[in-house]
Amino acid sequence: MTTLSTRERDRRGGRIVLAVIALVAAAVSAWLHFHTGTIRPSAFWVPTLVGLAYGTVVWPIGMRRGSGWWPNLVWVGFLGVFFLLIATKTFSAPAWFLAVIVGALLAEAVFPAKRASTSSVAKLPLDQVRPWSGSGVTAAVTERPFGRPNAKPAVLVTTQDGRTVFLVMDLAAFFDGEKGIAESTNGEQLTFLTRKGIASKSSVLDDATPGLADGTLFLFTGQQDARPSAVFSDEDAVAFEQWVRTIPED
């Protein structure tokens, strides 16, 4: 039997939660229809069926587009129809609202967004992973408590601003594109690993890197003047990612 990693279990659990919420929303929609005195079946079923189609097809397509315009258009369509139904009172506005939510949740639960393919790197036993260094950063394998009595593989990172520790699964999630910023584990010096252009323009992460090109990998602690703790060269960024991928997550 294949053992799921912590991240895989979390993703599966999240999908189950979405499915449960969708079923609850569907039950609420049906209850509202049968307990509000609605006589015409079409007043409920037309917006419900159209809303389900909108939520399962239009919503995920729009939300997963790279451009910021598509999600905005999807929201405008969703809310525009909702308020139009309230104003005209031809069909049930709550039925449309809940049907879109049900469809969107089910689409995400059954057909989650495809994750970017990752390079296949053979995992090594922890005692065989040699330390890595480059661009003013030294990294070595360690372990940190994660729940009781478990411990998770981690990376001890040393820069000019001191030492901190990242869980391997957090670094892997960052390099897989599941999160834009990796944060050091609890109890360690607060440090962020991210790329230029990920953080908002008003954030300290952006203010500390005015001369970096978008996509540049860097570490930031914020304990010193507003500057990165380390900036990875393009070659070292690739090498560090490949090194991290050789470490088991669990």
Q: β-pairing, 217-220 with 230-231?
A: antiparallel
Checking if the pLDDT of 218 tops 90, the result is yes
Segment 183-203 mean pLDDT? 89
Question: Could you report the per-residue pLDDT of 82-115, keeping only the tens digit for each?
Answer: 999 999 888 888 889 999 999 998 888 888 776 6
**Averaged pLDDT of the chain:** 84
Structure tokens at 141: 């394998």
Give the C-alpha separation, 32 to 248, whole Å: 49
Least reliable range by pLDDT among 13-22, 116-125, 156-165, 231-240: 116-125
Distance of CA 68 to the CA centre of its chain: 17
Question: Could you report the per-residue pLDDT of 17-45, keeping only the tens digit for each?
Answer: 878 888 888 888 877 777 765 557 788 88
The model's pTM is 0.66
pLDDT (0 to 100) of residue 36:
62
Give the C-alpha separation, 179 to 203, whole Å: 17
Q: Which helix (H) or strand (E) holds 79?
A: helix 69-88
Spell 192-222 as b/e; 16+ CB within 10 A means b: bbbbbebbeeeeebbebbeebeeebbbbbbb
Under 8 Å between Cβ of 173 and 7: yes
pLDDT (0 to 100) of residue 134:
93
Peptide bond preceding 149 in cis form (omega within 30 of 0): yes
